[in-house]
Amino acid sequence: MKPAVFDYHAPAIVQEAVELLQRYGEDATVLAGGQSLVPLMNLRLSRPGHVVDLNGVPELDYLTVDGEGIVVGATTRQRTLERSDTVRDLCPLLWRAMPLVGHFQVRNRGTVGGSLAHADPASELPAVALVLQAEVGVVGPTGRRDVKAEDFFIDAYTTALDSAEIVEHVRFPSLPGGTGTAILEVARREGDFAMAGVAASLTLDPEGLCSSARLALFGVGPTPVRVIKAERILEGRAITEELVGEAAAMAVQDLDPSSDVHASAAYRKRVAGVLVRRAIAEALARATGEQT
Amino acid sequence: MRPRGQSASIGEPVKASADLRLITGRGVFVDDLHLPRMVHAAFLRSPHPHARILGIDAKNAATSPGVVAIRTGSDLNLRSKLMQVGETTEASAIDIEVLPSGKARMVGDPLAVVVAQDRYLAEDAMELIDVTYEPLSPVLDADVARASTDTLVHENLGSNVFSTAEGGYGDWDEAVASSDVVVRETFRQARCSPFPLEGRALVADWDPADAKLTVWSSSQWPHMFRQHLSDLLNIPLDHVRVVTQDVGGAFGLKANTFREDIAIALLAVELGRPVKWVEDRRENLMASAHARDHSIDLEIALKNDGVILGLRARIVDDMGAYGLYPWSPDSWGKLLAVSLPLPYKVPNYQWEVVTVVTNKAPESAYRAPGNAAGAWARESLLDIAARQLSLDPIDLRRRNLIARQDLPFSPLGGGAPIDAVTTEEALEQAAALIGYDDFRQEQQKALAEGRYLGVGFGIYIKAAGRPKSPATVGLSETGLESATVRMSATGAVQAFVGACSGGQGYETTFAQLVADEMGVPVDAVQIQMGDTDFPAESSGTWGSRSTVVVGATLVGAARDVSTQMIAVAAKMMEAPQEEVALEGGFFIAERAPSERLSVLDVARAAWEDSSLAPSTLGTGLSSTRHYEIPGPTYSNGCHAAVVEVDTETGKVSVLRYVAVEDCGPLINPMIANGQIRGAIAQAYGSVFLEEIVYSEDGLPLTTTLLDYLIPDAASMGDVIIKHLETPAPGSGRFKSLGEGPLVASAPAFACAVADALSPFDARLTRLPLKPDRLIEATGGD
Ligand SMILES: Cc1cc2nc3c(=O)[nH]c(=O)nc-3n(C[C@H](O)[C@H](O)[C@H](O)COP(=O)(O)OP(=O)(O)OC[C@H]3O[C@@H](n4cnc5c(N)ncnc54)[C@H](O)[C@@H]3O)c2cc1C
């Protein structure tokens, strides 16, 4: 479990990082927190000839409030979000997701940009990005572009990034008043990747009807999935237990998860439905202020 | 000297002396050893579970940067004796080559070894070795392997059945005939890993001038390892030295001598340079060894009132591809069989163990081998029987336990009488502490709210320090131990011990024993262990033996040195020996109490003034003793757990956990409780998390910690620990603790889950109890 030979580069600014990536093309890989990349390199499943380390690029490490939300630099540690009152107040779903990402030791190193770029199917952050309709700020040889979360995750471990592009930041909009959120998952142990999980947000109008529902499942397919058909069941209605059951059934109807050593496909599908039901109930309780 | 029994440190939570060093990262494990001119090895391993090796071409690899040597089986095998395992009457032997040359029999079989300037370069070169394989179909399932005649793992065995053994006592058929009910179930343990945090590791160095081989190893039995190196490599015993430094856990895995050990030693001899090999986690999970791949078909015959009349066990043990030197591969299945009835009075017992060869990694002992696996099956079956007979599961156990009035109890299967156990007290106290009396009400109330609570109990009796162990051959002397205690000229006491610590805290507990016996402070005692050049011999640290065996030996030697010191002090003070005593660190003669001599005064004088010699045979203050207590000690315990199962997600929460243990007088409660907590964590792992999985075509799927889940700190909740401290009969007093708690813990967890899911009539016969299996057992998908 020792990596194959590689050259190590430590750029000081984003521009330099992009140039290195352009120069070495497919043979180069970005290193952020290293929590996913380094094990893969040690197993020689990933064998980049050039490693471009972003940890020495200070301009990527920040957290700011911006109009209707927060903007997080790509190398900002997961732990920074977890400990931030700003994130708690403006983006509670993001804040709630953090403790579910590995263990605190992992979050001390793991980055927000890394979680999105790595696009692990069982990862929490991509699902949260979908629910919050985040925008991923990308920089590459031809300049900058913003990619909507819904367009960012293409397949397992595959994103819309080109080989010479890096994630520069991600913008998480805040949700309107009257919104409650929840994120639930089942994992073998605390800190493990989810066997199934769901991130949810519900917004109630002044009459108590659901004006907007967003549900994204993770760990049950190659990418996180927004289940719009299930959201539609809830929107415009007063949310009852029966309705929640209907939405949960709809949410998992088209799922086709896979089996692995941790859980069978059937289990994943079944438990995803349970989690959707519970997450809607929890988000609702928060939207109505019954629960904090 | 201090009157015996009036201890100063025994029973106190003396801080473990190694803690500061280990916690601050100053431990010295094998990988921390850096010798001049040292080179690093990596093993090329078979990617096929079963394949003929048609050729190994290392030409390209040989010119890779930094490569020192590349060797295959054809280079090494003739330079070592074959590692033969299995000499019991039922079994034929398997001859294990250093590196297999004809066939690979498991994924991970080591086919070549690369030695290079560093491990990175060794792995780079390894990728360039070209092996031509002819893949053969593998056998992976013990039942399939048993029946197979065309796919043989070892052709010389003539079948894939390594051995079939039978035993027991009484008359099972008679028991069935007189019984009211026979309950039967087949329990499937998960193949799991002994998983020490530090895997296998060694540095071997050959000194051509002295013709001496020194091996620094992460071993749990340095003296046995020395013997094996000497035997297999044909080097005289006095030219082999094995040293262990800090050992990062062992759990049975390191009481084996591996092919890789021999290969590294051979390379050190050949190259004349120190060679280091530290297995990585993938090698550890894939190719070191696994454990507990047992299927246990258990039948119990009872009367309606719950009295057990008989037990029958049919065990199939999947030993993997080889077995491990020097154990007979059927040892662990047989140990399971003979330990099954243990805490209960079972008048008739019949067992059969079929040990089967498959294309998987070999089977190792793993903490409480046999006992731990069997206890889960037995206690689960008792609960099933209790449900079927509508008896309270605790009552059923009460009715059958080896109880106080049965002591000393002669096990019907033979062996030393069981004495000084407190099974009933342990059970009653565990039941009280877990709140059993009110639990059924609590359970009913929860059920009414749709919550599923359950309680489970696990009970054990475990022998330790037995002179002969029943299921092993050759090196069965768990009683082989000698230790030397010496008072040095500096006033420090050095105690040389053969057993070595893999995290058990011997530096502290042994020092307490010596200190109290000699009346000196604990920190005046230095425990020296883990070097075969020390004046101590041992069969190692395994089978819960060390405290019982080493403890008794050390105490005897320490007592001798005390007596020698009194003799010297008496001479110095010109007083009769009977009138000299050690008090508060000073020797005082009755008739002139103001003339005192310090321990240091006496120690120095004894070493420097030959006229003060305590005996005509020698001058120093030193004694070597052997373990001389004839029989084993028996520890016992009872664990109880209350769990809640979320029947929608299969998630299990442990709400309460109680461990009542009787390991005799506690030497150090802090260290004892650490052993218990560690055992509970391992049991939790085996019940809920750990499973080595092979794909249908024989590829191991659990070769990283992403796939093979071990319990971590976050998995563990609070544990209430209660000690009964019944001394062992005879002079030893202390009993064992290393393995017993594991034996009781797994059934407590598993039976609690089964109890919680009893409204579903859930059959939980396969470990680990993963969420998907629990959902399936409740009738979900
Ligand atoms: C024990 C353990 C448990 C874990 N549990 C979870 C969990 O439950 N949930 C979860 O979501 N994650 C989990 N992780 C993964 C962890 O969150 C990783 O940190 C994360 O997935 C990747 O972030 P990183 O900063 O470490 O990226 P790295 O490992 O450095 O990189 C990962 C990949 O992303 C690319 N990359 C990184 N940053 C950028 C960027 N700015 N632009 C473009 N590409 C980039 C790299 O090139 C690489 O391909 C766990 C990890 C461990 C070790």
Pick from A191, A195, A274: CB nearest B714 = A191
Position B18 scores a pLDDT of 86
Query: pLDDT tens-digit profile of B610-622?
Result: 888 777 777 779 9
Position B729 scores a pLDDT of 86
Residue B462 to residue B728: CA distance in whole angstroms: 13
- Chain A residue with minimal CA distance to B124? A4
**Cα(A32) to centroid of ligand 1, in Å?**
8
A186 and A149: one domain? no
A259 and A206: one domain? yes
- Chain B residue with minimal CA distance to A192? B706
Position B467 scores a pLDDT of 56
Q: Residues B484, B487, B492, CA angle at the centre, nearest 5°? A: 115
Task: Determine the average pLDDT of the residues in A189-214.
Answer: 97
Residue B363 to residue B253: CA distance in whole angstroms: 9
Query: pLDDT tens-digit profile of B706-721?
Result: 999 999 988 889 999 9
Position B477 scores a pLDDT of 53
H-type alpha helices, B362-505: 371-388, 393-400, 423-434, 436-448
A157 and A77: one domain? yes
Residues from chain B that touch A43, judged by Cβ atoms under 8 A, are: 282, 704
What is the pLDDT confidence band of residue A250, given thresholds at 50, 70 and 90? very high
Q: Chain-wide mean pLDDT for chain B?
A: 93
Distance from CA of B659 to the nearest CA of A (A): 23
- Chain B residue with minimal CA distance to A197? B649
Residues from chain A that touch B120, judged by Cβ atoms under 8 A, are: 2-3, 5
Test B714 with A188 for CB contact under 8 angstroms.
no
Test A261 with B120 for CB contact under 8 angstroms.
no
User: Structural domains in chain B?
Assistant: 17-27+480-626 (3.30.365.10), 33-136+200-247+254-288 (3.90.1170.50), 294-468+631-777 (3.30.365.10)
Q: Between residues B355 and B545, which one has the greater pLDDT?
A: B355
Lowest-confidence segment of B473-477, B494-498, B635-639 by average pLDDT: B473-477
Q: What is the CATH number of the domain that holds A125?
A: 3.30.465.10
A133 and A94: one domain? yes
List beta partners, residue A181.
A201
Q: What are phi and psi of A30, to 5 degrees?
A: -85, 140
B713 vs A: CB within 8 A: no
**Cα(B281) to centroid of ligand 1, in Å?**
21
A64 and A168: one domain? yes
**Cα(A117) to centroid of ligand 1, in Å?**
8
Test the B interface: residue of A38, A123, A270 with most B CBs within 10 Å: A270
Position B539 scores a pLDDT of 86
Distance from CA of B363 to the nearest CA of A (A): 21
Residue pair A102/A109 in contact (Cβ under 8 Å)? The answer is no
Position B476 scores a pLDDT of 46
Please check whether residue A242 lies inside any domain of the structure. yes
Give the total number of structural domains in chain A.
Answer: 3
What is the pLDDT confidence band of residue B470, given thresholds at 50, 70 and 90? very low
The parent domain of residue A205 ranges over 179-286
Nearest CA to ligand 1 atom 19: A110
CA dihedral sign of residues B720, B724, B727, B729:
negative
What is the DSSP code string of B274-319? -EEEE--HHHIIIII-BB--EEEEEEEEE-TT--EEEEEEEEEEEE
Position B8 scores a pLDDT of 85
Position B440 scores a pLDDT of 97
A249 and A185: one domain? yes
- Chain B residue with minimal CA distance to A104? B714
Position B234 scores a pLDDT of 97
Q: What is the CATH number of the domain that holds A21?
A: 3.30.43.10
Q: What is the CATH number of the domain that holds A238?
A: 3.30.390.50
Residue A6 to residue A23: CA distance in whole angstroms: 15
Position B551 scores a pLDDT of 87
Query: pLDDT tens-digit profile of B73-128?
Result: 999 999 999 999 987 566 689 999 999 999 999 999 999 999 999 999 999 999 99
Test A188 with B707 for CB contact under 8 angstroms.
no
Please check whether residue A222 lies inside any domain of the structure. yes
pLDDT for residue B629 is more than 70:
no
Instruction: Please write down the HEC assignment for all residues of B220-284.
Output: CCHHHHHHHHHHHHCCCHHHEEEECCCCCCCCCCCCCECHHHHHHHHHHHHHCCCEEEECCHHHH
B714 vs A: CB within 8 A: yes
Which domain-ending residue is among A138, A173, A208?
Answer: A173
Percent of chain A with pLDDT over 90: 98
Position B3 scores a pLDDT of 42
Most confident of the following: B204-218, B487-501, B545-559: B204-218
Residue B332 to residue A159: CA distance in whole angstroms: 50
Burial B512-526 (b: 16+ CB within 10 A, else e): bbbbbbbbbebebbe
Element spanning B721, H or E: strand B720-724
Please check whether residue A292 lies inside any domain of the structure. no
Residue B453 to residue B572: CA distance in whole angstroms: 71
Rg of the Cα atoms in chain B: 28
Residue pair B165/B90 in contact (Cβ under 8 Å)? The answer is yes
Instruction: Please write down the HEC assignment for all residues of chain A.
Output: CCCCCCEEECCCCHHHHHHHHHHHHHHEEEECCCCCHHHHHHCCCCCCCEEEEHHHCHHHCCEEEECCEEEEECCCEHHHHHCCHHHHHHCHHHHHHHHHCCCHHHHHHCEHHHHHHHCCCCCHHHHHHHHHCCEEEEEECCEEEEEEHHHHEEECCEECCCCCCEEEEEEEECCCCCEEEEEEEEECCCCCCEEEEEEEEEEECCCCCEEEEEEEEECCCCCCEECHHHHHHHCCCCCCHHHHHHHHHHHHHCCCCCCCCCCCHHHHHHHHHHHHHHHHHHHHHHHCCCCC
Nearest CA to ligand 1 atom 6: A102
Position B5 scores a pLDDT of 41
Task: Determine the average pLDDT of the residues in B277-282.
Answer: 98
A67 and A140: one domain? yes
Task: Determine the average pLDDT of the residues in B12-35.
Answer: 92
Q: What are phi and psi of B72, to 5 degrees?
A: -120, 180
- Determine the 3-state secondary structure of B774 from DSSP: helix
Position B475 scores a pLDDT of 42
- The two tokens of residue A93 are 């779903």
Lowest-confidence segment of A24-28, A119-123, B84-88, B733-737 by average pLDDT: B84-88
pLDDT for residue B403 is more than 60:
yes
A46 and A87: one domain? no
The interface pTM score, or ipTM, of the predicted complex is: 0.96
Please check whether residue A291 lies inside any domain of the structure. no
Residues from chain A that touch B706, judged by Cβ atoms under 8 A, are: 39, 193
Query: pLDDT tens-digit profile of B670-684?
Result: 999 999 999 999 999
Q: How far apart are the first and last CA of chain A?
A: 45
- The two tokens of residue B111 are 């086919």
- The two tokens of residue B729 are 């009969």
Position B474 scores a pLDDT of 37
pTM of the shown model: 0.96
Test B691 with A39 for CB contact under 8 angstroms.
no
What is the pLDDT confidence band of residue B416, given thresholds at 50, 70 and 90? confident
Please check whether residue A85 lies inside any domain of the structure. yes
Position B468 scores a pLDDT of 46
Residue A25 C-beta-side C-alpha neighbours within 13 Å? 1
Residue pair A87/A95 in contact (Cβ under 8 Å)? The answer is yes
Please check whether residue A166 lies inside any domain of the structure. yes
Pick from A4, A189, A193: CB nearest B712 = A189
Percent of chain A with pLDDT over 70: 100
Lining ligand 1 with CB less than 6 A are A 29-37, 54, 74, 101-102, 106, 110-111, 113-115, 117-118, 120, 123-125, 161, 166-167, 191, 193
